Copies of this chain bind each other. A is one copy, B any other.
């Protein structure tokens, strides 16, 4: 990753010094992976990196940009203000994910802070080749781990056990961490889009919804599949799943550079409308994935984003009914000039043979 060139590209767009504090943005611009660090950019001039004693040695190792490391004891704000006041700048832009409590401490020190939406988010939305490769690596690890676990998804295993075994295999295959808490939902619990895995044991004739992801070299994967265990008799399952497949296909056919993100969300709702499932699709269609598992652009009815080449997004229509459960199918998709590329290769459907499933 060329962090220095990212920093320089960002600086061209700035009107004054910017304080970057969202951990994902700090990593994106500098390579620092710790939990607490601040970047203070003076466009065309020096860059400062602030951290406490826990991270001084680590930041020397990880920072991949030209920056002066400033160690603070407990009060980052005092330290940042000192550096700011020794410059000739008249105001300090700060990413508006900062808490009001944090901003207030600058105001107390008479520092002229201007909270602003972070200009880093738009840069991050479009991935370069190196980033796409790392994301592909994360997707592959997530998929391989899923294949390892598929034979275990049988009658009698609990949701919790499936999650634990899947996470273990992602970590063994080189994942740094789960990208988010693994969702495993069976039976009526599949009606909860963000179900936490429980000790509930999977029964024959049910299906298991698994939404899982891993972080590799700082980048995330995020996938969802539904695995039947034995023959599923619930006719709503079959109907809803067919509708989802049709909706997925329509979305993937539409995605390409220049398309409005909300148009893709809209298209999926239109397809689901035909079979009457639209009202059970209770969340937005997808989101960007990268350093954070949820980042720009959003694929939702309210989104103002235009899809651009290099964006990586999830496409994850779902249908949830308190009566019979829920299904969801999630791909990760790279937006290209003339279409899109699905980054995951697992099948969309499994044969219902439980332990005999082979991805």
| A interface residues with partner B (beta carbon < 8 Å) | 33-35, 52-58, 61, 73-75, 94, 96-101, 103-104, 115, 117, 160, 163-164, 167-168, 171-172, 174, 176-178, 181, 191-196, 282-284, 300-302, 320, 322
Contacts and interface: CB of A to CB of B under 8 A. Distances in A.
Contact of A300 (B58, B61, B74, B164): B74
Contact of A99 (B55, B57, B58, B96): B96
Contact of A176 (B96, B191, B196): B196
The copy count of this chain in the complex is 2
B192 A57 contact: yes
B168 A54 contact: no
Given A97-B99, A322-B57, A35 B104 contact: no
Contact of A196 (B33, B117, B300): B33
Contacts of A320: 57
Contact of A100 (B55, B73, B100, B174): B100
Given A164-B172, A168-B164, A171-B167, A194 B55 contact: yes
Given A57-B191, A100-B103, 4 more contacts: A52-B282, A53-B193, A101-B117, A164-B172
Nearest to A192: B58
A300 B73 CA distance: 11
16 contacts: A33-B196, A53-B283, A54-B282, A55-B193, A73-B302, A74-B300, A96-B104, A98-B99, A98-B100, A100-B100, A100-B115, A101-B115, A164-B172, A167-B167, A176-B181, A177-B181
A61 to B, nearest CB: 8
Contacts of A322: 57
A283 B52 contact: yes
Nearest to A22: B99
A194 B96 contact: no
A194 B74 contact: no
Nearest to A118: B101
B34 A194 contact: yes
A193 B33 CA distance: 13
Contacts of A167: 167-168, 171
Contacts of A301: 74
A216 to B, nearest CB: 12
Contacts of A53: 193, 282-283
Given A100-B115, A101-B97, A74 B35 contact: no
A283 B56 CA distance: 11
Nearest to A71: B282
A238 B97 CA distance: 45
Contact of A54 (B75, B160, B163, B283): B283
